[in-house]
A and B are shown apart, each in its own frame.
Chain A
Amino acid sequence: MVLTIRPVAAALFLIFFSALLLDRAQAGSGHYYPPVTDKLTQDECGSCHMAFPAALLPARSWQRIMGGLADHFGDDASLDPAATAHITRYLTDNAADGAGSRHARKLMRGIDQANPPLRITELPKWVSEHREISPREWKSKDVGSKANCTACHVDASKGYFEDD
């Protein structure tokens, strides 16, 4: 009996350990944020910039952003009310303090919960992760904007924001 239990226990341990590693690789590394899966959100947000993962901001930030699309960081990104409501719901459901929370624990550290930033680039974690990027690099032709994640993070559209 002992002989048959041992391999089973070993296999179970292996499966558990692998699952733990995979989970850490995705959530624990702090560099994985699930890509947008809602088509309308992907199409509308993604027509001007990368459709940023919902887990990159808390629900309150998304609500404010979606409530002011006519002046979206200086640009007119206005949408009809039905599309606005649909996208707001997707983003808030999957926000850093919603369904996306297991990926965003580190990202949410040190932010004012009552008045969180509207820009992902103002999160303390974002700032510290990008402290080594020089102004010259930000201004280079291939980057041009801090919203241009994919210029450096080649797998950003798949959710991976590793150091590149």
Chain B
Amino acid sequence: MKTLSSMLLLLLGAAMASAVQAGPREDLLDRYAKDARANDPGFTSFSATRGQELHLARHTTGKPDTPSCSQCHGDKPRNAGRTPTGKSIEPMAVSATPTRYTDAAKVEKWFRRNCNEVLGRACTPAEKGDWLAYMISQ
């Protein structure tokens, strides 16, 4: 009986672990990793540090009003940001806004718009993954 219940616990634990593994954020990161590897066979993993650099860097290739991600989202991902029209933006850090990055279409919509605004081009899968890794780590 004891062995049976511990076996069940083990199974339950494994099921929960795989549920965590297969979350929408992990799926998204897996997809970006696959695309990043296709672009660059030397790609190993995403880096939250590179993501932070991307978030703070000032670019000159996009629109003058939006030189960086932090222009609207702020320097600290756990704090709220502000749109140019004065509306509050919920913090980008997953720890502060747990619902973030659970809808892949929404994530892609905002990368499409904002990379175009800030960088004047689409973001690469590696950039998206680094930036996401940074926000998930915060």
What is A's interface to B at a CB cutoff of 8 Å?
46, 48-50, 74-80, 142-145, 147-148, 150-151
Contacts and interface: CB of A to CB of B under 8 A. Distances in A.
B86 A75 contact: no
A11 B86 CA distance: 48
A78 B112 contact: yes
A145 B84 contact: yes
A47 B109 CA distance: 12
Interface residues of B, number: 14
Contacts, number: 40
B86 A143 contact: yes
A77 B113 contact: yes
A50 to B, nearest CB: 7
Given A76-B116, A78-B112, A78-B113, A148 B63 contact: no
A21 B72 CA distance: 44
| Chain A binding surface SS class | loop
Q: Count chain A CB atoms within 10 A of each CB in B84, B105, B116 and give the residue with the most.
A: B84
Nearest to B112: A78
Interface string B97-138: 000000001000100111011000000000000000000000
B87 A75 contact: no
A48 B84 CA distance: 8
